[in-house]
Amino acid sequence: MKIKNFCKIYKIINLPLSKIKKIELILKENHGNLFLIGGVVRCLILKKKITSSPDLVTDLPIELVVKIFKKKKIRFSSVGIKYGSIVVYDGQDKFDLT
């Protein structure tokens, strides 16, 4: 489902879209896709400020994502790697990526 006025709403809820797009571009270079999921989608729909790290999901295997991020020198924590998740850091923002 498309969210009407997305370009206006993401600013209102403090979604760090430029940083998410940076992650998306890196994954796309490797034939992967990136999707917003979870609470951030709810916040977009309800137009409420984000209160936690945005949840992202990719269709690439997490092992490949780790390899790509290491090569690109993207900072991340592999604390949840056995569950297929990592935490990506970009400045003050962090993203849960599965």
Pick from 32, 33, 43, 56: which is nearest to 6 by CA? 43
For residue 31, count other CB atoms closer than 10 A to its CB: 9
Rounded-to-integer distance, Cα 27 and Cα 6, Å? 22
Q: 36 pairs with which residues across the strands? A: 56
**Could you tell me if 58 and 32 are in contact, meaning their C-beta atoms sit under 8 angstroms apart?**
yes
Q: Per-residue pLDDT for the chain (98 aa), expressed as one digit of tens each?
A: 678 888 889 999 999 999 999 999 999 999 999 999 999 999 999 999 998 899 999 999 999 999 999 999 999 999 899 999 999 999 999 999 99
Which domains does the chain show, CATH number per domain? 6-97 (3.30.460.10)
pTM over cut 0.85: yes
Q: Which residue has the tokens 């999901």?
A: 57
